[in-house]
């Protein structure tokens, strides 16, 4: 193994990117049209665009989850928060078709900016609740967020009155379905949020603080980092990401389903984060890795659909991925494998 390769493979992003590339290449071989991009009616079409577009909610939630995990936390309420945000937005916009002098116009219950702000505000409140339970009440993150995960869907159903809320307000659909400069608008939302987060982490001391808290919460607090405030802030950020994802999802399907929106999203997000090389034990994280992880998951789903494998296989493949990634991250496993290799070498 050359030193160059060793240096390259040591990079956090090496394995996630390799996995993604292999998946895409395999797709390209089995289905030559898969990687093609087309320019049609002023929009860019193709499987690659589709994958990124569909992955948008997962990417956003994974970005939030990465930072929570980086400070030794976990947020399993993101699916419920997504459902709450989607329902709040759908309820506030509501909308009905009113026929006025023979012209059908969509009328909203509240103006759209108010609805969006309301949904994001509720998501932030959810994050504040999670953060306070973890930091002030000292609960284990899994349990603290379990409360909202259980109650959250109930609350969302309460807001929606147990119905799937349909939205009849075309301007709102732009968020999840619109195109800007030929590309899906969601791409710009994701890119903007990623860029802002990246700048906040790398151009300020925030990234350093987060790593310090993840490595040793007590020492970082003693060193004068406002660990509690930052941790609460990160839970709020994670919930905010789930809230934005909720807006995108509800806009995309033009309705909000309190029961099924964002179902199992928390698990996909945790999987994306671990695939990207972030340690669940905190301290080491990679924002770009999580984005790649989310793209891997979506590519896998798209592959399974496009190759024609029954979609049921998806869960088994995901399970295998979870096990493989975990074992690769485990120091004990690597030692064991090294032990096997050495033994076989000696025997040979």
Partner 1 sequence: MSAPLPLTAPAPRPTMPRWRALLLFDSKYTPLAITIALFVSMTVAGGIVYDGLLQPQIFLNLFVDNAFLLIVAVGMTFVILTGGIDLSVGSVIALTTVVSAVLVEHHGWNPWLVMPLMLLMGAAFGGAMGLLIQRFRLQPFVVTLGGMFLARGISFLISVDSISITNPVYMSIAEARLSLGGGCSLSVGALLSIGVLLAGIWLAHATAFGRSIYALGGSEASARLMGLPVAATQIGVYALSGACSALAGIVYTFYMLSGYSLHAQGLELDAIAAVVVGGTLLTGGSGYLVGTLFGVLILGLIQTIITIDGTLSSWWTKIVIGGLLFLFCLLQRLFAGLRRTRV
Share in percent of the chain as helix, strand, coil (round to 5): 70, 5, 20
Q: Which of 180, 202, 199 is nearest to 189 (CA)?
A: 180
Separation between Cα atoms, residue 125 and residue 238, nearest integer Å: 11
Give the whole-angstrom CA distance, residue 192 versus residue 186. Answer: 10
Q: Using the 8-state DSSP alphabet, how is residue 219 labeled?
A: H
Q: Is 326 in the site for partner 1 (CB under 8 A)?
A: yes
Residue whose structure tokens are 């990465």: 66
Q: How many positions of this chain bind partner 1 (CB under 8 A)?
A: 45
Contact 23, 34 (CB under 8 A): no
Shortest CB 105 distance to partner 1, Å: 33
Select the span of 18-26, 99-107, 211-219, 306-314 touching partner 1 (CB under 8 A): 306-314
State the Cα–Cα distance between residues 198 and 226, nearest whole angstrom: 20
Interaction of residue 307 with partner 1, rule CB under 8 A: no
Nearest-approach distance from CB 267 to partner 1, in angstroms: 6
Report the residue from 8, 199, 319, 342 that binds partner 1 according to the rule CB under 8 A.
Answer: 319
**Single residue of 117, 151, 253, 288 touching partner 1 by CB under 8 A:** 151
Least separation in angstroms between residue 215's CB and partner 1 is 17
SS3 state of residue 216: coil
Q: What angle do helix axes 185-202 and 47-70 make, rounded to 10 degrees?
A: 30
148 binds partner 1 (CB under 8 A): yes
Binding window for partner 1 (CB under 8 A); candidates: 24-32, 89-97, 147-155, 202-210: 147-155
* Cβ within 8 Å of residue 337, ≥6 positions away: none
CB of 7 to partner 1, least distance (A): 27
- Helices (H), strands (E): how many in the chain? 15, 8
322 is a site residue for partner 1 (CB under 8 A): yes
Is residue 283 part of the contact set for partner 1 (CB under 8 A)?
A: no
Provide the minimum distance between the beta carbon of 248 and partner 1 in the complex, in angstroms, as a whole number.
24
Task: Give the binding range for partner 1 (CB under 8 A) out of 31-39, 44-52, 218-226, 329-337.
Answer: 329-337
Binding mask 233-272 for partner 1 (x = CB under 8 A): ----------------------------------x--x--
Asked if 162 is part of the footprint of partner 1 (rule: CB under 8 A), the reply reads yes
Q: Which is nearer to partner 1, 125 or 147 (CB)?
A: 147
Residues 89-128 that bind partner 1 (CB under 8 A): none
Residue 79 or 176 having the CB closest to partner 1: 79
Nearest partner of 82 among 178, 153, 130, 154, judged by Cα: 153
**From residue 125 to residue 144, what is the string marking binding to partner 1 with x (rule CB under 8 A)?**
--------x---xxxx-xxx
Strands, E assignment, the chain: 37-40, 43-46, 96-100, 103-107, 165-166, 179-180, 183-184, 255-256
d(CA 277, CA 326): 10
- How far apart (Å, rounded) are the C-alpha atoms in residues 251 and 51? 18
Shortest Å, Cβ 311 to partner 1? 8
User: Which chain residues interact with partner 1 by CB under 8 A?
Assistant: 74, 133, 137-140, 142-144, 146-155, 157-158, 162, 267, 270, 274, 280, 310, 312-320, 322-323, 326-327, 330-333, 336
């Amino acid at each position: 193994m050359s030193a160059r390769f060793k240096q390259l493979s040591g990079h956090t992003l090496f394995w996630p990117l390799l996995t993604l590339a292999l998946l895409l290449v395999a797709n390209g071989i089995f289905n030559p049209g898969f990687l093609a991009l087309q320019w049609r009616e002023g929009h860019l079409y193709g499987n690659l665009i589709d994958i990124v577009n569909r992955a948008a909610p997962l990417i956003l939630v994974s970005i939030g989850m990465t930072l929570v995990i980086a400070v030794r936390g976990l947020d399993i309420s993101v699916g419920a928060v997504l459902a709450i945000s989607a329902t709040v937005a759908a309820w506030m916009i509501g909308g009905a078709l009113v026929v006025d002098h023979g012209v059908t116009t969509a009328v909203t219950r509240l103006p759209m900016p108010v609805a969006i702000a309301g949904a994001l505000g509720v998501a932030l409140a959810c994050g504040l609740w999670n953060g306070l339970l973890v930091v002030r009440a000292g609960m284990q993150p899994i349990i603290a967020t379990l409360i909202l995960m259980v109650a959250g869907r109930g609350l969302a159903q309460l807001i929606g009155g147990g119905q799937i809320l349909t939205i009849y307000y075309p301007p709102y659909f732009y968020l999840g379905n619109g195109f800007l400069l030929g590309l899906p608008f969601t791409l710009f939302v994701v890119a903007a949020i990623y860029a802002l987060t990246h700048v906040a982490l790398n151009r300020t001391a925030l990234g350093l603080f987060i790593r310090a808290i993840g490595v040793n919460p007590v020492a970082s607090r003693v060193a004068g980092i406002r660990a509690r405030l930052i941790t609460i802030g990160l839970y709020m950020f994670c919930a905010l990401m789930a809230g934005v994802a909720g807006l995108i999802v509800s806009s995309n399907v033009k309705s909000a389903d309190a029961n099924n929106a964002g179902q199992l999203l928390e698990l996909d997000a945790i999987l994306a984060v671990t695939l990207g090389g972030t340690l669940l034990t905190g301290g080491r994280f990679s924002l770009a890795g999580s984005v790649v992880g989310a793209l891997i998951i979506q590519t896998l789903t798209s592959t399974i659909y496009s190759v024609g494998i029954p979609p049921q296989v998806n869960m088994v493949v995901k399970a295998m991925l979870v096990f493989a990634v975990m074992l690769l991250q485990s120091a004990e496993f690597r030692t064991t494998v090294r032990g096997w290799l050495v033994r076989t070498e000696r025997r040979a």
